Structures are given as structure tokens and as C-alpha cells.
Amino acid sequence: MIGGYGWQNADDICQVGGEPPGPRGNCRRCQTEESLMMSNTSKLTEQQITQSTDRLEKDNPKDDELTADLEKRSRSGIINEPISKVLKKPRSSTRFSTFGSTSSMNGQLQNGSILVYGKESTVVQNSTTSKHKRISHMLDKSLESSSEVQSEVHIASSDLQKQVEPEHIFLSSEREAGISDMEVVSAAEAISSPVDLPFMSGIPLNPGVFIMTPAGIFMADSALQMAGLVEYPLQNDLASAIHSGKKKRKRCGMCEPCRRRLNCEECSSCRNRKTGHQICKLRKCEELKKKPTAALEKVILPSGAAFRWFQ
DNA sequence: CCCAACGTTCTA
DNA sequence: TAGAACGTTGGG
């Protein structure tokens, strides 16, 4: 069969249309039927897209409001929106996904302190994803190939949810329940397996590329660079402060000296408190005894799950 | 503003 | 190189 129009040779009469083949091989009758089919499919598709878009706009009337709010927060340098806005070259938002559950982020947002792939980005991303979902569903029959792309996104989203959902324990709701910053960081250290974040376009990222601070979670520069999301070189104030050694470290609160509550009153630091400005030697944090550079490597290097910031 | 204590510099 | 002294930061 040539061309699938129902005729076999140029001299044949079309078996479908019963007429000699035309310039495109099939007969006029076949051409007419084909033309009608194409026309209907095209009309249906455009109509469905228009309808679904209208419906989506009704479903998410506050998208503009959210966007404005997100932009307002982003001025503080906090990653609180899909990275596409951070990028000079925006990427498809279907590649982004959520980090943490909706409910877990409420406290942080209300405080206006920090947001990392939390509620607001969830709202935006979900709406975006659902748009694609619905449109994809409608076009499934006529656009088989595009549905493959969509399903990839769906799978990635659901996988991420399974993987990341437990991690929301590091965020606000449990902190409100009394979990200390230290415990938050310790819990993060417990994650040892790399996480494949869909918004990284399939680049598996170790949790160590995220910096968790009492103020929230940030992406390490190195992580952004690895993912090609920022241009080299990128230095944020905090990192440069550490590099320069001007940032004051805090006690870990976990070591034996840190747990000690009373000064010995006998060591030189206790005796010279007025002039020495030093904590009792028996209470000097083990972490602070180490050189700052050692602690710094632990923070910046994305090579391991463990990362430590100022406690 | 005060105080605790970290980081840096000085000194023995 | 360790300890003392001082400047400075960060939290209350």
C-alpha cells in the first residue's frame, strides 16, 4: 500500500474512493474525506484548549494576586518562587515541583520569614500543572506524543511527593511543636540518599546542596550552578561573610561543653572574665574550637548529606 | 544599651 | 604556640 490511501499503484483505481489517484496519490473522494477529518480535529482541539483555559482562569482567579505577592517576597533574596523567575532563561514550570506540604509551610509564610518551595509555589505550580493535566487529557487522542511528556511530568510530581513528603518535618509546623533548630539540621543530616528533584530537569541532587539555617532552607550556590540555574560566579552575602571569616559562629549546643551550665570559676577565662571576654574553658564548644574553615567545607561542599551552618 | 562570647592580635 | 587582651558581634 502506498501512502495508506487505499490504492496500490499509480495506475490503480483507489480502492476506497473508487476513482483514479490524484496528485497526492489518493483520489478526490479520499482527499475530501481526509480534509474533513483534519478540519474537525483542528477545530475541536482549538475549541477544547480555549474552553479549558477559560475554565482554569475561573478556577484560579487569584493567580495574579499570588504572583504579585511572590514577587514582593522575592525582593528579599529568598527563594520563594519557581526558579524560572530567578533564571534569566525561564524554564517550563511543569518541571518545578513542591518541597514540603502545603500545611507545613503556613507558619513560615505568615511570619514572612522564609519560604522554600512551599505553599505559595505549590499553589502556582499546582495550577500550572493542572492546566497541563487537563489540556493534556483533552488532547490525548489527537496528540499522543505530547501526552508522553505530560505523563513524565505527572510521574515526576507524584514520585517527588512520595520522596519529599517526609522531609516536610523539617519545616515550620513541627518547629512550632517544639523541635529545635539543631534537631532540624540533624534530621536533614539523616538524609543520605540523593533526591531527584524534577525542577532540576532530572539532575539528581544530594540534599547537601541545600543549606538549612534557622531562618530556612536555601540552595547552595554550587547547587544552582550545578543545575545551570545561575551564572558563575555567584556569591551571596552570607557565603562571602563566611569566606572572609567575619561571620560569628554559634555554639553547637550539643557537645558536652555546650551542655554544661555552670562556669568553673577557676579557669583563666573565668578568672579573666572582665578582660578576657571568653567563655569558661570547660564550656567552650567543641565545634568552635575547630578552625572555621573546617566547618565551612562541611557547609559548602555538596558532596555529602551532612551540612552544617551556624547553630 | 548591656552582656556574653567569638575572632583577632599581641605577648611571653 | 598557648594564653591574654581587646575589638566586635549578636541576642535580649
pLDDT at A277: 92
* Contact residues for strand C with beta carbon within 7 Å: A 246-248, 268-269, 272, 275-278
pLDDT at A291: 74
pLDDT at A258: 92
Q: Report how far residue A287's alpha carbon sits from residue A144's, in angstroms, rounded to the nearest whole number.
A: 58
Nucleotide closest in space to A263 (CA vs C1') = B4
pLDDT at A283: 93
Q: Protein A201 CA to nucleic acid B4 C1', in Å?
A: 47
pLDDT at A269: 92
The separation between CA A270 and the C-alpha centre of its own chain, rounded to angstroms, equals: 49
Chain segment A242-273, per-residue pLDDT in tens: 455 567 888 888 888 998 888 998 899 998 88
Beta bridge partners of A213: A216
pLDDT in tens, chain A (311 residues): 433 333 344 444 445 445 454 444 444 554 544 444 444 433 334 344 334 434 433 444 333 333 333 333 333 333 333 333 333 333 333 333 333 333 333 333 333 333 333 333 333 333 333 333 333 333 333 333 333 333 333 333 333 333 333 333 333 333 333 333 333 333 333 333 333 333 333 333 444 444 444 334 444 444 444 444 433 333 344 455 545 556 788 888 888 899 888 899 889 999 888 889 999 999 999 889 887 655 444 444 444 433 343 33
For chain A, the structural domain boundaries read 255-288
Q: Which residue is nearest to nucleotide B6 (CA to C1')?
A: A248
Nucleotide closest in space to A277 (CA vs C1') = B5
Cβ-contact A94, A129 below 8 angstroms: yes
pLDDT at A240: 53
Cβ-contact A117, A98 below 8 angstroms: yes
Using a 7 Å cut-off to protein CB atoms, list the covered nucleotides of chain C: 3-10
Nucleotide closest in space to A250 (CA vs C1') = B6
Nucleotide closest in space to A291 (CA vs C1') = B7
